[in-house]
Chains A and B, each alone.
Chain A
């Protein structure tokens, strides 16, 4: 190995074992959970329960798609999600009596989208810290929303739309799940097949080199945050329409659920690596896990402990694989 006659190798291969580990960890985890869930509870592997899991997943899933872009572009995280969900939900239901559900929904999405533009402007073009910026815009937007509806619960009255969304349309799959799948497929194609998607990866991998390659770096970052806000608003609209009730705190916790899913899916917080299917896989894993815990009556406090350990483990694995892969 150290004989002077052999030339030093010019390249180092990524370790195949690590590569495989990075690929199969998630599917294996999901399969294991399906088996464990079935063994622990009879209610688990029923159409009813699994349909509920899917519906629960869909609302967060739409946000996860946006958050994946934010992570890959090295934008850290978007903490304005709860506010965007709330504004989407509140506007939909409070405008419903006068303008109808669909117009209300449209206004709700547009409002969240406008707030997303502000996020994008400050983070992409003025280079402000994303965590602070989204925290600030989120707080402001939520404040405005609260003031507008008077800080109380808004009730809707559109049962037809409600049952359309949660009813089973094709092959027994609820409409809302189909909507989520459409968003996921769209997000996946955007990220993997377009110029913009490539910009997102490049910006997250090395922002300086990306800028020097004549890529509109500011725009790319801004667009990721705009997308996440818009999708969060859309998610809020769907949430309000399925519940037919909304309050200012309706979106609380969605930001962390989305971040958890993305992290568990192995999308790197350091940017430049990951994809939408992985993030959705992470979401599926997390949702199944919490479903199993709920079905088996595990106390909320212990559930938090398990989730926390899962996040820490996923992050540790990400860091480990990056170091081994030579990219760190």
Chain B
């Protein structure tokens, strides 16, 4: 399997892919060599996952070719891609919890004789694979009893057992601690030295710099650069990814910070988060950082009344409030821009107008009867203020791009004139232009005295925009960092629970 180093294993040429309304990839070339770790970086929506889905046989490309070891590939299904030696490790675990490690590893290609599973062979394969990857998992253990990071190793072993030539890792460390991530890197190193080409996708730039040999940068569906990792720095990479300096994407306005607006003390939802205390002042943007599953969204949902809380107090403008439902939250002046835009944010089959006015219908109605003209004026104005493009308020939200749908969600909540605004991943899946627009709006809101809580998984975003950062780890606050003290390192170590609260 191992050939001379530098031999090209995978060549994707001129890949173009258009989805209704969006050109996801335009003339993309990618070349991966034997025994290299090739990182692909880019913002959400840059086209990384579309490119990988083409490689995995999920989507056929509109144009372009894929060759593996010089052989032209026509992938019509994920199964075919796997047979041709493409292995995928996604961030979600796809294992059967009630089967053993060995059974999961060989699932889909169980060794059998006369229709019966050959258990001896099954365990021999699993033991060999696990050993080659340098892990110490017991093949007989039930997968359901393993930790998330151990399950991920089983997932990797499963891919490895199919003898791939190329393995794609898609955000493999997003729910791992630093220690667990290190173990993962050792496994990747093993695979590489066994002659497998690795494609590595991650948002954690430091990680990319540590592990990869070469980096390909994607932006808006195009290749921006492909270069050796050596000598590259995180700021340089960010500039390549976003196409401009960080300050242009996340403009930070200097705003006079006023009195505390929202004061939360000891907020607890049993088994989800515990003893959360935080303060947000007028004009202040407070970042809420943490890994996936740390409880950030859950805290936000409780503050907005979407989930109950079991203990703790919430004070708004110096008086205690009890938030029981979104209705009481809205009445108290809280607005929440949800993480899952499609689920909690917009009603896709309704028009922009109908979406924006939904929480504030009473403002545009008299005795329950809608005043068409008033509604039209109000929503048109909001749509224009928020740069919804095009500002066609009668058009169904489903026909707008992700970034514009997010602006519709913002418009909807600004119509309720909140004093506290909670933003949960406000720019996820949004292109750079819309991202800058959204941050300009957030800055304007802060300047007008709104107290803002922002949740984001993108550290550069949190660090660039926040006046203060609270860090959550497993449902508890592990750090409160001032703008001057917050950097990638201090936030990550608190987020992985490796630092004690300051």
Contact = CB atoms under 8 A, between A and B. Distances in A.
B27 A206 contact: no
A202 B347 contact: yes
A188 interface: no
Considering residues A13, A199, A206, which has the most beta carbons from chain B within 10 angstroms of its beta carbon? A206
Interface in A174-220: 193-196, 198-199, 201-202, 205-206, 208-216
A42 to B, nearest CB: 45
A205 B350 contact: yes
Contact of B346 (A10, A206, A325): A206
A9 interface: yes
Most chain B beta-carbon neighbours within 10 Å: one of A14, A209, A213, A325: A213
Contacts, number: 115
Contacts of A272: 347, 349-350
Given A11-B404, A202-B350, A325-B396, A214 B344 contact: no
Given A194-B369, A205-B350, A208-B343, A11 B21 contact: yes
Q: DSSP majority for the A interface?
A: loop
A172 interface: no
Nearest to A210: B347
A198 B23 contact: no
Contacts of B22: 8-9
Interface string B343-379: 1111111100010011101100100111000000000
A212 B347 contact: no
B258 to A, nearest CB: 26
A13 B16 CA distance: 22
The secondary structure that dominates the B interface is mixed
A162 to B, nearest CB: 37
Nearest to B364: A195
B370 A212 contact: no
A273 interface: yes
B63 A212 contact: no
Range class of the A interface residue count: 20 to 34
Contacts of B404: 10-11
Contacts of A202: 347, 350, 354, 358
A8 B368 CA distance: 42
Contacts of A205: 347-350
Given A9-B21, A12-B20, A214-B326, A209 B345 contact: yes
A195 B344 CA distance: 20
Nearest to A9: B21
A326 B22 CA distance: 13
A305 interface: no
Contact of A201 (B27, B63, B350): B350
B354 A2 contact: no
A327 interface: yes
Interface in A104-127: none
A195 to B, nearest CB: 5
Given A212-B338, A215-B358, A273 B349 contact: yes
Contact of B326 (A2, A8, A201, A213): A213
Nearest to A215: B358
Contact of A11 (B16, B26, B401): B401
Nearest to B350: A205
A286 B345 CA distance: 38
Contacts of B70: none
Interface in B54-93: 62-63
B473 to A, nearest CB: 27
Contacts of B49: none
A222 B27 CA distance: 53
Chain B interface size band reads 35 or more
Contacts of A212: 304, 306, 326, 336, 338, 344-345
Given A211-B306, A213-B412, A326-B20, A195 B349 contact: no
A193 B27 contact: no
A193 B350 CA distance: 15
B330 interface: yes
A215 B359 CA distance: 7
A209 B16 CA distance: 34
A195 B347 contact: no
Contacts of A206: 343, 346-349
B109 interface: no
A210 B358 contact: yes
Contacts of B369: 193-195
Contacts of B304: 212
B350 A10 contact: no
B447 interface: no
Contacts of A10: 21, 389-390, 400-401, 404
Contacts of A209: 338, 343-347
Contacts of B395: 11
A199 to B, nearest CB: 8
B254 interface: no
Contacts of A208: 343-344
Contacts of B199: none
Looking at B21, B347, B350, B359, which has the most chain A CB atoms within 10 Å of its CB? B347
B399 interface: yes
A11 B22 CA distance: 8
Contacts of B221: 8
B370 A195 contact: yes
Contacts of B348: 205-206, 327
A100 B430 CA distance: 67
B398 interface: yes
A208 B336 CA distance: 13
B197 interface: no
A211 to B, nearest CB: 6
Contacts of B399: 11-14, 326
Interface of A: 2, 4, 8-14, 193-196, 198-199, 201-202, 205-206, 208-216, 272-273, 325-327
20 contacts: A2-B16, A2-B26, A8-B22, A9-B22, A10-B389, A11-B401, A194-B369, A195-B365, A195-B368, A202-B350, A202-B354, A205-B347, A209-B344, A212-B326, A212-B336, A213-B412, A214-B326, A214-B327, A215-B358, A216-B327
Interface of B: 16, 18, 20-23, 26-27, 62-63, 221-222, 304, 306, 325-327, 329-330, 336, 338, 343-350, 354, 357-359, 361-362, 365, 368-370, 389-390, 395-396, 398-401, 404, 412
Given A201-B354, A210-B347, 11 more contacts: A2-B63, A4-B222, A10-B389, A12-B20, A12-B399, A14-B399, A198-B357, A206-B343, A206-B347, A327-B348, A327-B398
Q: What are the nearest 10 A-B pairs in CB distance?
A: A8-B23, A205-B347, A12-B21, A206-B347, A214-B330, A214-B326, A213-B359, A327-B349, A212-B344, A213-B358
